[in-house]
A and B are shown apart, each in its own frame.
Chain A
Amino acid sequence: MDTAEPVLQVTDLSVSVGSTPALSNVSFIIRPGARVGLIGESGSGKTLTALSIMGLLPDGLFASGSVVHDNRELLDLTEDQLCEIRGDRITMVFQEPMTALNPVMRIGDQVAEVLRIHRSLSRAEASDRALELLAQVRLRDPLARMKAYPHQLSGGQRQRVVIAIALACDPALIIADEPTTALDVTVQAQILVLLRDLVEDHNSSLLLITHDLAVVANVCEEVLVMYGGRIIESGPTTQVFDSPHHPYTSGLLAAVPEIEPGQERRERLDTIRGSVPGLGQFPSGCVFRNRCDRATDDCLDDPNLVAIDGSEQDGATRMVACFHPIHAQSTEASPR
């Protein structure tokens, strides 16, 4: 991996709802060509992170900290300046393609629209390019589909159209928020493979937001784990999943039922004590403290996300925010 400037550098991103912090000091970078997974349960701040980057926070919420893309501070940009970046340099793929598409506009026109706005192409040029893009997302019979309306397509086909729109301007970064949650398992596999391949073909980077750990394992080489509005662990996906350092990551991995050929299934799934607190009800200090078996008085302080020595691999470093991290050796013995 090169040492080129990151596509996105997020530093100390925080968002408060009233006086309650919803995101606290979220920092990460996305390098060119990287596919990064952002995982966490509902309420962990995944979507809020994406919306802050895109400048799409709901009214009344404000982000502090810094989000730098291409030497520009995104948090300081005006709405007009953001509009130039959105859909062109940074694009989004949402969970539900039916709501992301315009129901009364033909598919071809919706893909062409992006190119007409951001690339000032003529109607004919944009339409030709839209056809190419629909072929790239492997929509069958793209010429006929150009004239179709969203309701005439299946869920998987609609998500392909949304991906075509997201890729139209060869963006630097695609943020995909639960892109396959609404889809059947065979369709999900097709869409994930498509997304993985096309991000590479278009020299884009990917930030994939999901609650599904296995999806991240198959698509992303780096992973960020969120809990209670902060990143609690990050690093290369295989390393984090094979030997998690944070007790929460470890608990999450153990809670997933897995089909392992030739292995007896487990009688019971391992669970994490307690449940995710509501917004504003997280404990002071370490947010995971009240559910953690390793917690001590040290954990009354708030742990920083710090790098683990000697863990650098392909430019990605393993980081963990925990005073009592699980060591790689001991996790070998822990139940999966």
Chain B
Amino acid sequence: MNDPILEARAVSRSFRLPRLSLTGKRPEIQALLDVDIIVNEGETLGIVGESGSGKTTLAHLLMGLDQPTSGQIQYRGNDIATMSRAGLRKLRASMQIIFQDPNASLDPRLKVGTIITEPLRSLKINTDHQTRLAELLDAVGLATGAKNRYPHEFSGGQRQRIAIARALAPNPKVLVADEPVSALDVSVRAKTLNLLQDLKEQFDLTMVMISHDLSVMHHVCDRVAVMYSGRIVETGPVEDLFTAPEHPYTRTLLSAIPRLRGGSLLVDESTDDVEGASGERSSGCSFAPRCPLVHDVCYADDPKLLSLGVNGERSVACHAANN
């Protein structure tokens, strides 16, 4: 296994919400609680979870776009909270992000060429911008003429390519993709996923991919971390995790995917959706209210993420699975 490039150690992040009444206290939600994760150089790590599970918060923390309430983020062994300004600028160049909605992440009043070379200017990177621009357009499969046009002249899939080219401009080591294909049509989605895989090889990237779509995850990732209610409940190599999920939540997620062939959806129909991702928590495992394997201990004790088996590639946070 390669060396870790990014590492989160016991990271927590809480947010204060606006007050609900004039005299009341501002409620606080725990978006992330005690998260440990390692991103190894050269791999594609997937982070899956439902809305509100903390995926995006974790990604922002990993990139240094937000500070953890407690815990540490390390880039190649250095704590990013203590880095100098110059160090941070270098860091920004080596970590880039693409967002879900390319309509919202591209400035409609800038030409594509200006958009793609903007990181080079803002990060003060000394290269020939025009040469770099031509390379990037070629890498993402856009014509050279695209640089003189505006984002609205492109389709959704092409706009996502522009966003990808911009992210690649400063020659990053790590590319974080936050739901990069959720807003795209089926056939465009396939092309974009193929492109990301090609670029990963071409530019020697480490990728962190955030998605709620397990089929997409399964297709592109080497390793997957499953999040629920602000913590990681299971991690492991993608094939192992999908064929033999250990955490009951991972199993719930997998059984909920509509399959194209031979599929018939089965769901626990006892109740309406317990959308368990909100920040209010009592003690114990946060999945306990929805869990089919729940025991008394689950309400009393919060399970730790412990490694399974001999090689330590998989870990799971569940009392039932750890026994």
B-binding residues in A (CB < 8 A): 41-42, 138-140, 154-157, 160, 184-190, 192-194, 211-215, 217-219, 241-242, 251-253, 255-259, 261-262, 265-266, 268-272, 275-276, 278
Contact = CB atoms under 8 A, between A and B. Distances in A.
4 pairs of A and B residues whose beta carbons are closest in the complex = A255-B190, A214-B258, A257-B219, A156-B273
Given A255-B186, A258-B215, A259-B218, A271 B191 contact: yes
7 contacts: A190-B269, A218-B263, A241-B261, A251-B187, A261-B243, A269-B190, A276-B188
A42 B252 CA distance: 30
Interface residues of B, number: 46
Given A156-B272, A187-B275, A262-B243, A215 B219 contact: no
B189 interface: yes
Contacts of B219: 257, 265-266, 269
A138 B269 contact: yes
A154 B275 contact: yes
Contacts of A211: 185-186
B218 A257 contact: yes
B258 A186 contact: no
B185 A186 contact: no
Contact of B273 (A190, A219, A255, A276): A190
Nearest to A269: B190
Given A189-B267, A242-B261, A276-B155, 13 more contacts: A138-B272, A193-B265, A214-B260, A218-B265, A241-B260, A241-B261, A255-B186, A257-B193, A265-B239, A271-B190, A272-B187, A275-B187, A278-B155
Interface centre among B256, B258, B269, B275 (most CB of A within 10 A): B258
Nearest to A248: B187
B269 A217 contact: no
Interface centre among B51, B185, B273 (most CB of A within 10 A): B273
A238 to B, nearest CB: 9
A41 B267 CA distance: 28
A188 B191 contact: no
A186 B256 contact: yes
A215 B258 contact: yes
B174 to A, nearest CB: 23
A110 B271 CA distance: 22
B187 A252 contact: yes
